[in-house]
Amino acid sequence: MLGKQLPFNKAQIEGIINQFPTPFHIYDEKAMVENAKKLVQAFAWNEGFKEFFAVKATPNPFIIKLLKQVGFGADCSSLPEIELSEKAGITGSDIMFTSNNTPVYEYKKALEIGANINLDDISHIDYLEQNVGLPNIIACRYNPGSLKAGNTIIGEPEDAKYGFTKEQMFEGYRILKDKGIKRFGIHTMVASNELNPDYFIETAELMFNLVVELHKKLDIRFEFINLGGGIGIPYRPEQKPVDLQYVSNGIRKKFDEIIVANGLAPIKLFWEAGRVITGPYGYLVTKVQHIKKTYKKFVGLDASMSNLMRPALYGAYHHITVLGKENAPLLEKYDVTGSLCENNDKFAIARQLPIIEPNDILVIHDSGAHGHAMGFNYNAKLRSSELLLRTDESVLEIRRAETIEDYFATLNFDNLKHFN
Ligand SMILES: *Cc1c(COP(=O)(O)O)cnc(C)c1O
């Protein structure tokens, strides 16, 4: 039977539930850190290589601090994400600021701390200069349009709201050079949750060729090439993870053939991956409240799509394990649901599972990225706690569950007294 491994057993989880009620997300420190080290090791051949963890995937300073210890920086797209990274001890050029539709106050902060700034649009060159000032080093985000096929989550590059066209890349760097900028980086991000390793090698090749062309036309040199994020994870048990060593070997070959051969080395390679770093190492743990039988059979959980909205948002598959029934035959077909008043509040539809009873504990896999992070308060659902399963098997609460007081905290009750 195809399954997915868990870093804990039922007895351990029952112990944890005694202290921290369900639902909660729990992250596996050991596996997460080991995987993070593998990425760094795979690219050790590139001097100055750095991964900037995409904070939006798992915006928790404990996670960011663990990743900093592996040598990661932080990829941020808003002021609060920058400040969160600073809380975890990451600042200055260890921050990549890749934003879009950016307001002045966010550029101001990025410039103030000396973050790497990636521009999303050619009009932002003047916007930045007039409102904030230009940094010493700057990058532009490339959208290859029809020159590159997209994938399902991010869509076709031509439809994507991100980045400069190819023509604008030449125009943008020319303008920046004329304004006196001497230090340049370059960025792209064209895929999301992509499992084909060759896709990343092809993207790197596209960028290396563009760097050569830009150098030849404009006589500028690049200090870094940021290959973005988008490395997929095997949500389904039959899928395989992206082989990072294979990707690295393929990129190295292109780097030698294109960058080194044209005399443009050294150039630092950067990633700003999020999902692949934390996604597989988070688990949403939830208890069964009710079993309902009408035209279909429903499992009702104490978690809702407000804890993990990927299935509702893009029909995403998340594997489900019923604790203690790992080897039981899959005798029933269930819709696994939350308690929101929205009929797409389902973690799985027509999923073949063991026979489930109230109080069973379900583990929803791969909730480590875009899980708690995408949470919301619709139906006044309170956001859950986040726990860290430490390498020594102890459990640390790294975010407490919301309370009703938290939910009320932004309401102007004082004004309500005088309101009629
Ligand atoms: C979301 C995002 C990332 C991370 O993407 P993953 O698919 O999580 O690796 C990196 N850079 C930018 C600009 C993003 O928006």
- Best probe residue, ligand 1, of 99, 275, 278, 374 (max atoms within 8 Å of C-beta): 275
pLDDT at 157: 81
Beta strands in 48-94 (DSSP E): 50-54, 73-76
Query: Could you give the angle at which helices 104-113 and 123-131 cross, rounded to 10 degrees?
Result: 70
Atom nearest to 187 CA in ligand 1 = 13
For residue 383, the 8-state DSSP code is P
**Residue 364 Cα, ligand 1 centroid: separation in angstroms?**
22
Cα dist from 318 to 1, 48, 76, 336, 365, whole Å: 17, 36, 26, 11, 6
- Mapped onto helix, strand or coil, the DSSP state of residue 281 is helix
- Mapped onto helix, strand or coil, the DSSP state of residue 419 is coil
Atom nearest to 231 CA in ligand 1 = 9
**Residue 311 Cα, ligand 1 centroid: separation in angstroms?**
19
**Residue 156 Cα, ligand 1 centroid: separation in angstroms?**
16
pLDDT at 1: 47
**Residue 273 Cα, ligand 1 centroid: separation in angstroms?**
6
Atom nearest to 57 CA in ligand 1 = 8
CA 225 to chain centre: 19
Token pair for residue 269? Answer: 């390679």
Tell me which amino acid residue 144 is. P
* Residue 341 annotated to the active site: yes
**Residue 57 Cα, ligand 1 centroid: separation in angstroms?**
8
Longest dimension (CA), the chain: 75
Mean pLDDT of the chain: 96
Residue by residue, pLDDT tens for the chain (420 residues) are: 457 999 999 999 999 999 999 999 999 999 999 999 999 999 999 999 999 999 999 999 999 999 999 999 999 999 999 999 999 999 999 999 999 999 999 999 999 999 999 999 999 999 999 999 999 999 999 999 887 766 655 567 888 889 999 999 999 999 999 999 999 999 999 889 999 999 999 999 999 999 999 999 999 999 999 999 999 999 999 999 999 999 999 999 999 999 999 999 999 999 999 999 999 999 999 999 999 999 999 999 999 999 999 999 999 999 999 999 999 999 999 999 999 999 999 999 999 999 999 999 999 999 999 999 999 999 999 999 999 999 999 999 999 999 999 999 999 999 999 998
Q: Please compute, for residue 407, the number of CA atoms within 13 A of its CA located in the half-sphere on the CB side.
A: 13
pLDDT at 146: 80
Catalytic residue among 1, 2, 44, 341: 341
Atom nearest to 191 CA in ligand 1 = 7
**Is there a contact between 23 and 364 (Cβ–Cβ < 8 Å)?**
no
pLDDT in tens, 386-420: 999 999 999 999 999 999 999 999 999 999 999 98
Atom nearest to 370 CA in ligand 1 = 8
- Best probe residue, ligand 1, of 85, 98, 200 (max atoms within 8 Å of C-beta): 98
H or E stretch covering 19: helix 10-19
CA 4 to chain centre: 21
Q: Please compute, for residue 202, the number of CA atoms within 13 A of its CA located in the half-sphere on the CB side.
A: 12
Looking at ligand 1, which residue's alpha carbon is closest to its atom 7? 230
pLDDT at 78: 97
- For 96-164, the three-class secondary structure string (H helix, E strand, C coil) is EEECCCCCHHHHHHHHHHCCEEEECCCHHHHHHHHHCCCCCEEEEEECCHHHCCCECCCECCCCCCCCE
**Is there a contact between 110 and 95 (Cβ–Cβ < 8 Å)?**
yes
Token pair for residue 273? Answer: 């991956």
**Residue 272 Cα, ligand 1 centroid: separation in angstroms?**
6
**Residue 409 Cα, ligand 1 centroid: separation in angstroms?**
31
* Ligand 1 pocket list (CB less than 6 A): 54, 56-57, 75, 98, 189, 192, 228-231, 272-276, 369
- Best probe residue, ligand 1, of 140, 192, 313, 370 (max atoms within 8 Å of C-beta): 192
- Best probe residue, ligand 1, of 52, 272, 276 (max atoms within 8 Å of C-beta): 272
